[in-house]
Amino acid sequence: MYQYDKYDQQMVDTRVEEFRDQTRRRLSGELSEEKFRPLRLMNGLYLQLHAYMLRVAVPYGTLSGAQMKALGDIADKYDRGYGHFTTRQNIQYNWIKLEDAPEILADLAKVEMHAIQTSGNCIRNISSDHFAGAAADEIIDPRPYAELLRQWSSFHPEFSYLPRKFKIAVIASDTDRAAMRLHDIGIQMVRNDAGEIGCAFYVGGGMGRTPMVAPLINAFVPLDELITYSEACLRVYNRHGRRDNKYKARIKILVHEMGKDEYTRQVEEEFTHLKAQGIEPPLAELARIEPYFADPAFKTGIVDEIASDAPDFALWVGRNTVLHKAPGYVSAVISLKPVGGIPGDASADQIRLMGDLATEYSFDECRVMHTQNIVLPHVEKGRLKELYDTLAANGLAAPNLDTIEDIIACPGLDYCSLANARSIPVAQKISERFAGNGKTAALGELKLKISGCINACGHHHAGHIGILGVDKKGVENYQLLLGGSEAQDTSLGKITGPGFDEDGIVDAVEKATDVYLEKREDGERFLDTYRRIGMDPFKEAIYG
């Protein structure tokens, strides 16, 4: 794991004291809300439906056991005993008091964490593959590059007031587990014919009201030009992005309106100019970062089998563990989607326990997945049963990774002031319906994603099945989308037709899955069947 050097720590500590002073001035009346609002947002503090909400950055989703435990302690000490893990691999607290906020930031700083750049029109937290450093299919660990980008983008003066927010994802395998092409910039670490590592740049993806899949603009940027090329991409955006219209201000609109070729041409021109200025950090900096992400001391010669006849355990192993690059290990996924539960929520005790388990079973590391689950990346197969028993005893062993019960849902109208409709109750009803009717297993991999409004924080465009909450004359209404994907075969879902009320949408989802069960061919997932047979049979079953 990366560890702060004295500069990182100083930057974060200084910011805490600055915010402490700003908060004091707000509370004493020296600062008006108008002046204070942008300052609190720069520190991740929003005002939401019920209270202030704090969003804490988890760089590329990686946490140490101690950091995870600190997040649990904060939930207890300053919130109402729980936290919400988000699709951006971060955590949000829903019940924060303004007077406590500086103290929380100070607690975070003690474990090398902060809430900087989790709001506003800047480069936000960099996301990555949650199996980084463990995945059997990666060509290299993407996190050192994500860390380099984090350092470059932290307090970058030129990019603190972009036309709109900016999100970057970095992956290093052909399998995309980070929705890379739905980011403003998606970077895939690749190897060229000469065997050198470089970066493929996809620019101009995003969800929200105008979803777009990022096109490839450069298939190989050498490693020692990563920052310069990123800077060039941002500069062209900063210059031409639509500051006149908030809804057209994301880079996806620029790339779309300007055209990928013209955008790329301008980036190349800027790149040439920037190269001459020598802004790239020396490779020595990358060399300084890399050892922090070196493999832990994997044991060799350990058992490479998972022995147990217990059916519950076997089901969990089958669904929630993932192939690891080191023999004798797996990555284990802790599902935060118990049937009928709130996707992504975990209690303070559960958060602390997951921190302890990371320390005990996974070389002191865990990860937040964009699907709102937690990964223990490196677990010995021989110790899985013992881990499973602890998880099961604490309500953390739902065996449902990538199934229809593993639903992504944004906070929706239960918490979010921008929402049109609630998302969580819909997720709860769907997971209960499918756990009850026993179809979960037959449906196999099925990614269902729900957003409470067009902003798409719940990735509904990218769900095999997506649900979008809309406001129909003051009443909650839900549109159904089919055919989205955020994996390497990224696609955007299409709306089936008129929307439904809360119970209606649950029925509609079941009808859609029944079409799949009836029409599927061997080996097809829901998404494959949809792609083969198209929308019509689904429409017929749902509205017919």
Partner 1 sequence: MKILTGNDLKTGDVTWWDGQGWSRHVNDAVDVGAMADEIAAREEAARNVVSAYAIDATTDADGIRPAHIKDRIRALGPTVRPDLTLKPADPEAGNWVI
| Footprint of ligand HEM (CB under 6 A) | 46, 48, 53, 86-88, 92, 164, 167, 206-208, 250, 410-411, 416, 418, 455-457
Least distance between ligand HEM and beta carbon 246 (Å): 7
Least distance between ligand SF4 and beta carbon 416 (Å): 3
3-state secondary structure 137-154: CCCCCCHHHHHHHHHHHC
Name which position in 1, 11, 39, 51 contacts partner 1 (CB under 8 A). 51
Q: Where are the alpha helices (DSSP H) in 53-100?
A: 65-78
Name which position in 19, 52, 271, 530 contacts partner 1 (CB under 8 A). 52
Please tell me whether residue 78 binds partner 1 under the rule CB under 8 A: no
d(CA 42, CA 47) in angstroms, rounded, equals 13
The closest alpha carbon to 251, from 189, 152, 370, 167, belongs to 167
d(CA 525, CA 485) in angstroms, rounded, equals 12
The two three-digit tokens of residue 201, written as one number: 């740049």
Least distance between ligand SF4 and beta carbon 308 (Å): 39
d(CA 10, CA 455) in angstroms, rounded, equals 35
Q: Which is nearer to ligand SF4, 18 or 501 (CB)?
A: 501
Please tell me whether residue 211 binds ligand SF4 under the rule CB under 6 A: no
Residues 415-444 vs ligand SF4: string with x where CB under 6 A? Answer: -x-xx-------------------------
d(CA 404, CA 315) in angstroms, rounded, equals 15
Would you give the DSSP letter of residue 248? G
Q: Residues 332, 335, 338, 341: what is their CA dihedral angle, to the nearest 10 degrees?
A: 170
Binding segment for partner 1 among 232-240, 279-287, 317-325, 472-480 (CB under 8 A)? Answer: 472-480
Q: Token pair 């600055």 is at which residue?
A: 18
Least distance between ligand SF4 and beta carbon 252 (Å): 17
Cα separations (Å) of 442 from 26, 257, 436, 514?
Answer: 56, 43, 13, 10
Name which position in 274, 453, 487, 508 contacts ligand SF4 (CB under 6 A). 453
Residue 453 binds which entry of ligand HEM, partner 1, ligand SF4, none, with Cβ cut-offs from 5 to 8 Å by kind?
ligand SF4
Please tell me whether residue 470 binds partner 1 under the rule CB under 8 A: no
Residues 404-433 vs partner 1: string with x where CB under 8 A? Answer: ---------xxx-x-x--x-xx--x-----
Quick one: which H or E segment has residue 47? strand 45-47
451 contact partners, CB below 8 Å, separation of at least 6: 409, 410, 412, 423, 457, 458, 459, 460, 466, 467, 468, 469
Please tell me whether residue 455 binds ligand SF4 under the rule CB under 6 A: yes
Least distance between ligand SF4 and beta carbon 341 (Å): 18
Q: Which residues bind partner 1 (CB under 8 A)?
A: 26-27, 29, 33, 47, 49-52, 80, 94-99, 342, 413-415, 417, 419, 422, 424-425, 428, 474-476
Q: Which residues bind ligand SF4 (CB under 6 A)?
A: 410-412, 416, 418-419, 451-453, 455-458
